[in-house]
């Protein structure tokens, strides 16, 4: 897990080393264990390293035959198995990223189909001075690019592109509206003018500073599992063990984020089976908030499975203190209040481990969300996410007419012949909600604390052989939703493995009491938020003041979105430092 960055000049000249150095400084928090760079032809590559596998020998860039060079962010979990595809190759390191280098030399861009993992990588081939950029099929690891002043730039975070000095952060108002209504942004375009995401599974081939070819590897192939529930349970056990085993490959200590829910409890059950030592499990709750706290159930599961269980409290003081840091970390913004507890849990876990497994993707793959139970209505006229978070509150100066356009396009693309309505809803979530909210949150909050996050449910296999994710997605609807509950098969597996987890009880979900905390400070916040430049240019000051002073308790999601955006805009658009607590930052504006 690392941060990568680089440049390609359109005129064929060597890029400026100082620009590359500035870009690497902007992602240094992602890789505090070392830095490497390489300039050849028109291309410069750099990496800030978080050492996880082959601690001594895995420094990057990595070099192969004919001077081919590679930098990567992520983990190739099946790197040992890839040795079998490369007979006669003499490996210089034990790095998980060296086999892809040799596979590229042998197969060209087709090498990507062999990779099983999470990755964003850049590869320079000096034979034709080409640059290849690629991202894993689920978009677990981020990669951004821009074209500016005769350069093509790429990096793990947009902030590194701006650090090059070749472009400045300019806000796209329609993407701002999309962010505030959906809590994430869709598609290739980011909230910054001229800055783009590689889409999940996308590969770009670049020459002379221009993109000349695009290809895309699908995360999920079409197909169904045709066996009965007994056969499905047996297959799930095999695939879950395989995925967790691969995701535990590490030369440094690792643990698990344990919520007390189905997904993380299933992961802990499998980790306990595979590990001879107690698993380190980290849970977080909100004392004195009045919210249901699942740490009690998490403790029962941890005790049953012999885990070393760590509990972390998140308070109102943490909320106000961490908000500026979280806004800084979320440079590609997702206004998801779960960023806050994720950030603090990462801070705590990073004291003991460098890797954590997490349950992201379980709901999307196995059909866990409540909205999936009404998927048939969605495809017959009722839309998912049909109402924005700020609708009906009279906040906008100019009501946003097109905020749902990108999401509507994704809805159309999610409907594939031969798939169920439920699968269409799952595909829709995996197009944008998963990569641009949940996985962005996980990446930024953990990497800001030099901690690697791994997601075993998002295992897409290799060489067109479906892994755990393909199996789960291909299950019949009745193995996903039954008796008003989602994730039926995963619940049934957990009931056999750890009945103490109470898998068939109704879960209350993970909620952060942001509405309470904001309402308690509403009178103080109201004039501060209303006066922020990012807020004043788009919203009615009187309506914003009223929301915070009188309506935050009932409209907590809307108040949170505006508060987060005000702080985000200060740092990422106006360039103000994220210092002090939220009140200090708002007052300094």
Could you give the CA distance from residue 267 to residue 9 in angstroms, rounded to a whole number? 45
Does residue 187 sit in helix, strand or coil? coil
Per residue in 473-493, pLDDT (tens digit) is: 999 999 999 999 999 999 999
The full 3-state SS of 435-492, as one line of letters, equals: HHHHHHHHHHHHHCCCCEEECCCCCCCECCECCHHHHHHCCCHHHCCECCECCHHHHH
Inform me whether the pLDDT recorded for 255 exceeds 70: yes
Token pair 């169904």 in the structure block, residue: 224
Could you give the CA distance from residue 52 to residue 33 in angstroms, rounded to a whole number? 10
DSSP code of residue 380: T
Does residue 232 sit in helix, strand or coil? helix
**32 plus 149 within the same structural domain:** yes
Q: What is the CATH number of the domain that holds 19?
A: 3.60.20.10
Number of domains in the chain: 3
Calculate helix-pair angle for 556-572, 522-530, nearest 10 degrees.
50
Report the 10 Å Cβ neighbour count for 34.
15
| Domain residue limits at 545 | 514-588
**pTM for the whole thing?**
0.96
Regarding beta strands 117-125 and 69-76, do their DSSP bridges make them parallel or antiparallel, or are they unpaired? Answer: antiparallel
- Residue 376 pLDDT: 55
For residue 403, tell me if it sits in a domain: no
- Residue 401 pLDDT: 85
Per residue in 369-407, pLDDT (tens digit) is: 988 987 755 555 556 788 899 999 999 999 998 899 999
Q: What is the CATH number of the domain that holds 234?
A: 3.40.50.620
Inform me whether the pLDDT recorded for 505 exceeds 60: yes
For residue 75, tell me if it sits in a domain: yes
Examine the fold and report which residue of 181, 216, 251 is the final residue of a domain before the chain moves on: 216
Question: In the chain, pLDDT over 90 holds for what percent of residues?
Answer: 89
- Residue 382 pLDDT: 58
- Residue 551 pLDDT: 80
**60 plus 123 within the same structural domain:** yes
- Residue 346 pLDDT: 98
The whole-number average pLDDT for the span 25-48 is 97
> Of 73, 53, 52, nearest to 61 (Cα)?
73
DSSP code of residue 171: B
Q: How many CA atoms lie within 13 A of 506 on its CB side?
A: 6
For residue 394, tell me if it sits in a domain: no
For residue 420, tell me if it sits in a domain: no
Answer yes or no: are the C-beta atoms of 179 and 168 closer than 8 Å.
Answer: no
**143 plus 184 within the same structural domain:** yes
DSSP code of residue 21: H
**295 plus 442 within the same structural domain:** yes
**Banded pLDDT at 464 (limits 50, 70, 90):** low
**14 plus 106 within the same structural domain:** yes
Inform me whether the pLDDT recorded for 81 exceeds 80: yes
The full 3-state SS of 301-343, as one line of letters, equals: HHHHCCCEEEEEECCHHHHHHHHHHHHHHCCCCCCCCCHHHHH
**203 plus 259 within the same structural domain:** no
The overall average pLDDT reported for the chain is 94
Helices marked H in 35-157: 79-82, 98-107
DSSP conformation letters of 65-94: GGG-EEEEEEEETTHHHHGGGSTT---S--
Does residue 370 sit in helix, strand or coil? helix
The whole-number average pLDDT for the span 187-203 is 98
**42 plus 104 within the same structural domain:** yes
Answer yes or no: are the C-beta atoms of 15 and 131 closer than 8 Å.
Answer: no
Q: Give, in order, the Cα–Cα distances in Å from 571 to each of 474, 565, 577.
A: 43, 10, 6
**561 plus 479 within the same structural domain:** no
H or E element in which residue 46 lies: strand 43-49
**306 plus 177 within the same structural domain:** no
Handedness of CA 8, 9, 14, 16 (dihedral sign): negative
For residue 418, tell me if it sits in a domain: no
Answer yes or no: are the C-beta atoms of 180 and 335 closer than 8 Å.
Answer: yes
**347 plus 462 within the same structural domain:** yes
| Least confident residue range of 44-53, 214-223, 255-264, 541-550 | 214-223
Could you give the CA distance from residue 541 to residue 547 in angstroms, rounded to a whole number? 10
Examine the fold and report which residue of 186, 216, 246 is the final residue of a domain before the chain moves on: 216
For residue 443, tell me if it sits in a domain: yes
**288 plus 189 within the same structural domain:** no
**258 plus 173 within the same structural domain:** no
CB-based contacts of 240, cutoff 8 Å, min separation 6: 266, 270, 456, 468, 493
Burial class (CB in 10 A: 0-12, 13-18, 19+), 380: exposed
């Amino acid at each position: 897990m690392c941060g990568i960055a680089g440049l390609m000049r359109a005129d064929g000249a060597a890029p400026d080393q100082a620009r590359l150095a500035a870009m690497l400084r902007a992602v240094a928090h992602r890789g505090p264990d070392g830095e490497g760079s390489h300039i050849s032809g028109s291309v410069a590559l750099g990496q800030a390293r978080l050492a996880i596998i082959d601690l001594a020998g895995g420094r990057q860039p990595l070099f192969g035959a004919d001077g081919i060079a590679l930098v990567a962010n992520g983990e190739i979990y099946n790197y040992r198995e890839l040795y079998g595809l490369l007979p006669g190759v003499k490996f210089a390191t034990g790095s998980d990223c060296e086999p892809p280098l040799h596979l590229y030399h042998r197969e060209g861009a087709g090498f990507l189909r062999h990779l099983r993992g999470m990755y964003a990588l850049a590869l320079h081939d000096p034979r034709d001075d080409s640059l290849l950029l690629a991202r894993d099929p689920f978009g677990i690891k981020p990669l951004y690019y821009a074209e500016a002043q005769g350069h093509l730039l790429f990096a793990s975070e947009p902030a590194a592109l701006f650090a090059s000095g070749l472009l400045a952060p300019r806000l796209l108002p329609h993407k701002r509206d999309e962010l505030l209504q959906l809590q994430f942004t869709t598609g290739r375009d980011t909230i910054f003018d001229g800055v783009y995401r590689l889409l999940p599974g996308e590969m770009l081939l670049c020459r002379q500073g221009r993109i000349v070819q695009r290809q895309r590897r699908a995360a999920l192939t079409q197909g169904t599992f045709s066996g009965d529930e007994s056969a499905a349970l047996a297959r799930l056990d095999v695939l879950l063990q395989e995925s967790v085993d691969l995701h535990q490959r590490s030369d440094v200590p690792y643990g698990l984020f344990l919520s007390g829910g189905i997904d993380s409890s299933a992961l802990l059950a499998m980790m306990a089976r595979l590990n001879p030592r107690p698993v380190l499990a980290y849970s977080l709750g909100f004392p004195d908030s009045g919210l249901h706290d699942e740490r009690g159930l998490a403790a029962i599961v941890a005790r049953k499975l012999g885990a070393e269980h760590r509990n972390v409290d998140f308070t109102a003081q943490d909320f106000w203190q961490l908000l500026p840091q979280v806004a800084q970390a979320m440079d590609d913004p997702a206004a998801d209040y779960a960023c806050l507890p994720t950030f603090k849990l990462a801070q705590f876990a990073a004291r003991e481990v460098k890797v954590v497994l997490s349950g992201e993707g379980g709901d999307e793959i196995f059909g866990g969300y409540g909205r999936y139970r009404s998927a048939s209505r969605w495809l017959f006229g009722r839309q998912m996410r049909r109402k924005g978070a700020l609708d009906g509150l009279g906040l906008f100066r100019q009501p946003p007419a097109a905020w749902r356009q990108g999401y509507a396009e994704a809805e159309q693309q999610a409907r594939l012949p031969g798939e169920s309505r439920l699968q269409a809803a799952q595909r829709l979530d995996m197009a944008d909600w998963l990569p641009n909210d949940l996985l962005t949150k996980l990446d930024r909050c953990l990497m800001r604390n030099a901690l690697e996050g791994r997601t075993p449910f998002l295992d897409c296999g290799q060489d067109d052989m479906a892994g755990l994710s393909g199996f789960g997605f291909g299950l019949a609807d009745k193995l996903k939703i039954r008796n008003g509950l989602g994730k039926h098969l995963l619940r049934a597996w957990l009931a056999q493995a750890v009945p103490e987890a109470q898998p068939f009880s109704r879960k209350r979900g993970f909620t952060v009491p942001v509405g309470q905390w904001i309402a308690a400070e509403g009178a103080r916040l109201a004039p501060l938020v209303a006066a922020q430049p990012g807020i004043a240019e788009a919203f009615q000051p009187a309506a914003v003041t009223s929301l915070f002073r009188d309506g935050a308790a009932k409209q907590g999601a809307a108040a949170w979105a505006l508060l987060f955006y005000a702080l985000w805009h200060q740092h990422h658009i106006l360039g103000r430092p994220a210092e002090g607590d939220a009140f200090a930052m708002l007052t300094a504006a």
